[in-house]
Structure 1
Amino acid sequence: MAFNYPQLVGGGAFNIFLFIQFFRTLPKELDEAAKIDGANSLQVFVGILLPSVKSVMLAVLVMALVYNWNDFFNPLIYLNSNEKFTIAIGLQFFKGSQGNVQIGQMMAMALISLMPVLVIFATCQKYFIQGIKMSGLKG
């Protein structure tokens, strides 16, 4: 499967915007307190800023996963054997050549293809809520 790597690792424009906006909400006092305690810039980033950005990283990860999971055209271009086709391409096989659609089987497969994304979202949901609670933190 051909991944869109910039989107996957957070290089998309929306993902960068999301990270920048979240970093702007963090109070500067956290950095200053760590500097006074003797931490260098790398220690401030790894020890203080990176753990607080966990919710944004998970949001970007889920959005990139959904983007790549539902991608239709990249696998269609790069893959040339039926054994390697993705689920998004496989759903198109339920459409007949005469325009008839096997709607029952297509909806069942669409529901099955949605399950992994729903499971990942359900397991990461507590981090989304935690990020929302932390953004309302009073100093």
Structure 2
Amino acid sequence: MVYKVVVSDADVTYQLELDDKDAKVVNGLKIGEEFNGGVLGLKGYKLKITGGSDKNGFPMKEDIDGTRRFKSLVSEGTGFKPTKKGLRRRKTVRGNTIADDISQINVKVSERGEQTLAEIFAEPEEEQEE
């Protein structure tokens, strides 16, 4: 399974893809856990999982254990933003554990490495021919 990983650092975000061979590192991790950023090519970085969504777009919710989908009555928070006070809806959400059904993982930087993210993600400049 290929995961899209969205790395957030302060007000800047970067998107990466995690291949099948490296996906084994994050499989089974839960929201709130940390892993080594070297898997993504971010040497020296520690990344904390903050959420994600599955292949059908349902968001992961921190307080639901496991990998299953669950219809939950929510009044605010993940998956629902009420427009009026007291409004509640039954929404489908995904559990807090990363499995093969997850397509996007949201992470934030908890420990920085030697290089900045801007340097790592900078596109190589093409040489100009004269």
Rg comparison, structure with higher value: 1
* Bucket of the pairwise TM-score, normalised by the shorter protein: under 0.3
Report the structure, 1 or 2, having the larger helix content. 1
TM-score for both structures, normalised by structure 1: 0.22
Report the structure, 1 or 2, having the larger strand content. 2
